[in-house]
């Protein structure tokens, strides 16, 4: 069971790194249709999209200048990693 928890924690850590990479890539004026950006978006968007949909229901959150779904997903991932 310990091995499964370690593998799962590693997978969650990799996903966290991909989210951070996506955030860093968004800061630079690069081609967001390029291979690296497309790859990172394809891997992270399936988790961000449902959270974004839930948060969009709150009017105050829609007015923010940034995407809070990213922060919510990062916090949830960190909690899951700590629980493992």
Domain count within the chain: 1
- Whole-Å CA distances, 57 to 13, 50, 63, 72: 29, 11, 11, 15
User: What range does the domain containing 67 cover?
Assistant: 2-83
Tens of pLDDT, residue by residue over 20-39, are 999 898 888 877 778 888 89
Measured in degrees and rounded to the nearest 5, phi and psi for residue 76 equal -60, -40
Q: What is the pLDDT of residue 10?
A: 93
User: What percent of the chain is modeled with pLDDT above 90?
Assistant: 51
């Amino acid at each position: 069971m310990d091995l499964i928890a370690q593998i799962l924690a590693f997978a969650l850590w990799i996903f966290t790194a991909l989210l951070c990479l996506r955030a860093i890539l968004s800061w630079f004026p690069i081609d967001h249709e390029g291979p690296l950006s497309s790859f990172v978006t394809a891997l992270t968007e399936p988790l961000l999209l449902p959270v974004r949909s839930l948060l969009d229901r709150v009017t105050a959150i829609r007015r923010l200048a940034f995407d809070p779904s990213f922060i919510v997903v990062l916090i949830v991932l960190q909690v899951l990693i700590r629980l493992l």
